[in-house]
Amino acid sequence: MTRRIYTINDYLKEKFNTKIAKLSLPGGTTCPNRDGSKGTGGCIFCSESGSGDMAGDIDEQIALLSEKWPNVHKHLAYFQSYTSTYDPVEVLRKRFYDVLKRDDIVGIAVATRPDCLDDDVLELLDEINKTHFLWVELGLQTINDDTAKIINRCYDLKVYDKAVSDLTRLGIRYVTHLILGLPGETKQDMISSVRYVCQNDIFGIKLHMLNTVKGSTMETLYPGYTSFESIDEYITLVCDLLEIIPSDVTIHRLTGDVPRPLLIAPEWSYKKRTILNGIQRELKNRDSFQGIKSCRS
């Protein structure tokens, strides 16, 4: 069967010769645009839990996933909520190594902000990367600095560029997180963001539509805002973007994962399987696949 999308699940299965389940774990306690050091309130799309609504205790997560995949015994620990490098380095060291010492953990993924990769943090990540499997996820969301101000990101694009340069210099895999449908952004803006991040030696990319969730600033600032009017509109855009993402870039997400009780809009965004099946069907109808119009020269 033709592989139309190079998913992170495919990559991990090929690398470790078995299916790997990702565990969503609490990543930290706050962010610099929540505690006042750079801003307050967090990014406007972020829930009260720091977009870690699916995160939980490691053993609880393993038990939960074992019901879905009873034959999966190896896991990757994903430090998800808030900013997972925004703690003293000795706290980070203990948090990461406590998980890595487990025999059932094959590696870690660390979600963070590009402005939270100080030299001591980079040194720790470099140390881990030399002996364990690791990737760092950078929450960029958009390359447009005007949009960044709207969403209260509290750093500009050059900060992301420096983080990419530092991680690349150290040989640390990184994944860039982009959000589609941010207020004021056009389709061309979203295409430009994808093209920009794919210019470099990126390991992976994460895409999903903007979700308005209960408890977020978005709920009060933009009442009634819907990033996409229909599933079909979103599916078409994602397929257009997949076609320009190089075929060797791992795809980590193509839709959101918000618990239904917290979701406000788009009201259909919880239909994850419908969206993913629709993307595969649209690519098949086009006789297309990831990278067919690669954005790398």
Per-residue pLDDT of the chain (297 residues; tens, 9 = 90+): 578 999 999 999 999 999 999 998 987 778 888 887 887 777 888 776 545 445 568 888 888 888 888 889 999 999 987 789 999 999 999 999 999 999 999 999 999 999 999 999 999 999 999 999 999 999 999 999 999 999 999 899 999 999 999 999 999 999 999 999 999 999 999 999 999 999 999 999 999 999 998 888 888 888 888 999 999 999 999 999 999 999 999 999 999 878 888 899 999 999 999 999 999 999 999 999 999 998 664
Tokens of 288: 């297309």
CATH for the stretch 8-286: 3.20.20.70
Say if strands 263-265 and 212-213 run parallel, antiparallel, or are unpaired: antiparallel
Residue 266, preceding bond cis, omega within 30 degrees? yes
User: What are the Cα distances from residue 31, in Å, to 81, 111, 182, 250, 291?
Assistant: 10, 12, 21, 27, 35
CA 95 to chain centroid: 20
What is the pTM (predicted TM-score) of this model? 0.93
